[in-house]
Amino acid sequence: MNFFLISLLKTAIVAGAFMTTLAYLQWIERKVLAHIQLRLGPYRVGFNGLLQPLADVVKLATKEGFVPSHVNTFFYVLAPFLAVLFALISVCVIPFGPSVEIFGVRTDLGLADINIGVLFVLAISSVGVYGIALGGWASNNKYSLLGGLRSSAQMISYELPMAIALAAPLLLLNDLSLRTIVNEQAGFYLGFIPRWSVFQMPFPQIVSFLIFLVSAFAETNRVPFDLPEAENELVGGFHTEYSSLNFAAFFMAEYANMITVTCMATALFLGGWQPLWPSEFGSDFVPVILLLAGAAMLFYHGVFEPIQGRKWDRVSFPAFGAIFAGLALLFLIPVLKPILVPLFWFIAKTGILLFLFIWVRGTLPRFRYDQLMNFTWKFLFPVAIVNLLVTAFAVALQGQKN
């Protein structure tokens, strides 16, 4: 009975945390892009604009869901549903932390652990293109159709180097279960170099990691690979004819795919929840130090340097500082420490990769479509093949020595 209750509790927590992250990832992106471009970004709705995602949801939910008369209504409505469905399913097999004991029951920090987790994520991501392609076709609009065709060609093309890039570290780790893969990356070389896939011998997978990241940008239709929704050529691309919650569903799927690929990169290449250096050297205290530093900064700006013209900062900044300090104390509780510290490392690595996605959007221009396809077939694919062959040779050579 406890097992089912804990499973339901984990499902509710993961679902709530994931959906909240989807909402606030959009706010974070707008904030980061604003700072890159020397703007403030959203700050009027709630403290520092924190209620902006809620306002956006209310706005989109109350807008008229206009369905053009010339569309194929069934597939037009089905397309955003499929896009969101396939984007959300993959998170079920991603491990967020080690096995822990809760209420006397041993359980994994994650929803499911299947022995072919990597193949499952690849399979789901490969059919995720149907949502965008179907939306472009069902809209019965030439711009939408071109956007859907671009997405199909782009995602299918970049799936090949992505799959080959994933195969290389799998040769080193010799398993398809994501939890086992993370466990195989535990430990340190020379006592301080982590045994993550990007550093793991006999052939470090930094090249595979970079290929995977580039392919992930294309798979999620992010800048500089956002050709399916190129407004200077295709108006809005595949979502030109969509409005209200149907329109929001496509972007919800985009952000969900971003989280999925960054979680996969963290688990496969960056050691998952494994720390950057050994715990005996103080890695367990990193979240406490960061949270206390954030609390101190909030207290300082709230008391001594509030933003001009924002009178509530004298209250809101110290209030959030107190929340940060309270979170820091949670990491010092012995019962919670085995759960929270691994979660911190996993979330921190994933967050850095998500920041990279946003940073690239605010920095690089969009490619031309011929550049996009030439890059994958003439450069990325051959490099992925060579990297896989070299890795296989190194693994075979090490096996003969052993």
344-364 average pLDDT score: 93
The yes-or-no verdict on residue 81 having pLDDT over 70 is yes
DSSP reduced 3-state for 136: helix
Give residue 178's pLDDT band: very low, low, confident or very high (50, 70, 90).
very high
288-303 average pLDDT score: 90
Instruction: Give the C-alpha separation, 137 to 160, whole Å.
Output: 24
Strand pairing partners for 189? 193
The yes-or-no verdict on residue 298 having pLDDT over 60 is yes
CA dihedral 225, 231, 235, 239 (to 10 degrees): 50
The domains of the chain are located at 2-274+333-401
Nearest one of 12, 200, 10, 23 to 95, comparing CA atoms: 10
Give residue 402's pLDDT band: very low, low, confident or very high (50, 70, 90).
low
The yes-or-no verdict on residue 241 having pLDDT over 90 is no
CA distances from 288 to 9, 13, 96, 284 (A): 26, 23, 19, 8
Is the distance from CB of 178 to CB of 109 less than 8 angstroms?
A: no
| Predicted pLDDT at 112 | 85
Give residue 130's pLDDT band: very low, low, confident or very high (50, 70, 90).
confident
Nearest one of 1, 310, 3, 382 to 164, comparing CA atoms: 382
Taking the model in full, what pTM does it have?
Answer: 0.93
Is the distance from CB of 196 to CB of 266 less than 8 angstroms?
A: no
Instruction: Give the C-alpha separation, 190 to 230, whole Å.
Output: 49
pLDDT above 70: percentage of residues in the chain: 97
Instruction: Give the C-alpha separation, 278 to 273, whole Å.
Output: 12
Give residue 220's pLDDT band: very low, low, confident or very high (50, 70, 90).
confident
The yes-or-no verdict on residue 140 having pLDDT over 90 is no
275-301 average pLDDT score: 92
Nearest one of 259, 220, 209, 275 to 28, comparing CA atoms: 259
pLDDT above 90: percentage of residues in the chain: 40
The yes-or-no verdict on residue 99 having pLDDT over 90 is no
Q: Which residue has the higher pLDDT, 231 or 318?
A: 318
* Dihedral over Cα of 329, 266, 156, 234: its sign: positive
- Kindly report the average pLDDT of the chain as a whole number: 88
Q: Are strands 105-109 and 193-194 parallel, antiparallel or unpaired?
A: unpaired
| pLDDT tens sequence across 105-114 | 788 888 888 8
Q: How crowded is residue 122: how many other Cβ atoms within 10 Å of its Cβ?
A: 16
376-388 average pLDDT score: 94
6-30 average pLDDT score: 88
| Predicted pLDDT at 401 | 66
The yes-or-no verdict on residue 355 having pLDDT over 60 is yes
The 8-class DSSP code of residue 365 comes to: P
| Predicted pLDDT at 307 | 65
| Predicted pLDDT at 306 | 66
| Predicted pLDDT at 153 | 85
The yes-or-no verdict on residue 390 having pLDDT over 90 is yes
Tell me the residue length of the chain: 402
| pLDDT tens sequence across 323-346 | 999 999 999 999 899 899 999 999
The yes-or-no verdict on residue 144 having pLDDT over 90 is no
Q: Which amino acid is at 188?
A: F
251-270 average pLDDT score: 92
Give residue 1's pLDDT band: very low, low, confident or very high (50, 70, 90).
low
Maximal CA-CA distance, the chain: 70
Give residue 388's pLDDT band: very low, low, confident or very high (50, 70, 90).
very high
Output the DSSP codes for 59-99: HHHHS-----TTS-HHHHHHHHHHHHHHHHHGGGG---EEE
164-188 average pLDDT score: 92
